[in-house]
Structure 1
Amino acid sequence: MSNYEPVGQEVILGKNSRVTILNTLIDVLTMKETVDLVEQYVNTKTPLHLMGVNADKINEVNRNERMKQIVNSCGIINADGASVIMASKYLNKPLPERVAGVDLMQHLVALSAHKNYTIYLLGAKQEVVIKTAEVLQEKYPTLRIVGVHDGYFKEDQWSEIYEEISNANPDFVFVGITSPIKEYLIEFLQSKGSKAVYMGVGGSFDVISGNIPRAPLWMQKCNLEWLFRVMQEPKRLFKRYFVGNLTFIKEIRREKKKA
Structure 2
Amino acid sequence: MTRLRLFDLPLDVITLDQTLDRLGEWIYRTPRAPHTVVTLNPEFIVQSRTQPDFVTVINQADLVTADGVGIVYAARQLAGTEVPRAPGMDIVRGLMERHGRDLRVFFLGAKPGVAETAAKNAADQYGIQVAGVHHGYFGPEEDQRVAELIRDSGAHLLLTGMGAGRQEIFNQYWRQVLNTPVMIGCGGVIDVLGGTAQLAPEWTRRMGVEFIWRIASDRRRWNRAPKLLQFVRLVQAQKRKQKA
What is the one-letter code of the residue matched to 2:162? I
Task: Structure 2 unaligned segments of length 5 or more: list them.
Answer: none
Matches within 5 A, 1:228-247: 228-234=213-219, 236-240=220-224, 242-247=225-230
1:121–1:173 contact (8 Å) kept in structure 2:
yes
> What does residue 121 of structure 1 align with?
107
Match of 1:41 among 26, 30, 49: 26
1:255 aligned to 2:241? no
Q: 4+ residue runs of structure 1 moved beyond 4 angstroms? A: none
> What does residue 154 of structure 1 align with?
139
What is the one-letter code of the residue matched to 2:118? T
What is the one-letter code of the residue matched to 2:155? P
1:99 aligned to 2:82? no
2:33–2:179 contact (8 Å) kept in structure 1:
no
What is the one-letter code of the residue matched to 1:248? F
1:53 aligned to 2:36? no
Once residues 170 and 83 of structure 2 are traced to their aligned partners in structure 1, the CA distance between those partners, rounded to angstroms, is 30
> What does residue 3 of structure 1 align with?
none
Aligned-pair distance for 1:86? Answer: 1.4
1:24–1:61 contact (8 Å) kept in structure 2:
no
Aligned-pair distance for 1:239? Answer: 2.7
What is the one-letter code of the residue matched to 1:258? K
Higher helix share: 2
SS at structure 1 position matched to 2:174: helix
2:108–2:159 contact (8 Å) kept in structure 1:
yes
| TM-score (ref. length: structure 2) | 0.92
Aligned-pair distance for 1:193? Answer: 5.5
CA distances 1:32-88 after superposition (whole Å, capped 9, x unpaired) = 011111122223322111111100001122221111110011110001011110121
Point out the more displaced range, 162-171 or 68-77.
Answer: 162-171
1:194 aligned to 2:179? yes
> What does residue 31 of structure 1 align with?
16
Once residues 211 and 103 of structure 1 are traced to their aligned partners in structure 2, the CA distance between those partners, rounded to angstroms, is 18
Aligned-pair distance for 1:257? Answer: 2.0
2:38–2:63 contact (8 Å) kept in structure 1:
yes
Once residues 173 and 156 of structure 1 are traced to their aligned partners in structure 2, the CA distance between those partners, rounded to angstroms, is 20
Match of 1:62 among 42, 45, 49: 49
Once residues 202 and 138 of structure 1 are traced to their aligned partners in structure 2, the CA distance between those partners, rounded to angstroms, is 22
Measured at CA, do residues 193 and 176 of structure 1 come closer, stay the same or move farther in structure 2, by a change above 3 Å? closer
SS at structure 1 position matched to 2:113: helix
Match of 1:145 among 130, 144, 154: 130
1:48–1:197 contact (8 Å) kept in structure 2:
yes
2:107–2:160 contact (8 Å) kept in structure 1:
yes
Q: Say what the alpha-carbon RMSD is for the aligned residues.
A: 1.7
Q: What's the % identity of the aligned pairs?
A: 22
Task: Structure 1 unaligned segments of length 5 or more: list them.
Answer: 1-15
Aligned-pair distance for 1:131? Answer: 1.3
Once residues 23 and 98 of structure 1 are traced to their aligned partners in structure 2, the CA distance between those partners, rounded to angstroms, is 20
What is the one-letter code of the residue matched to 2:222? F
Aligned-pair distance for 1:169? Answer: 1.4
Once residues 96 and 181 of structure 1 are traced to their aligned partners in structure 2, the CA distance between those partners, rounded to angstroms, is 26
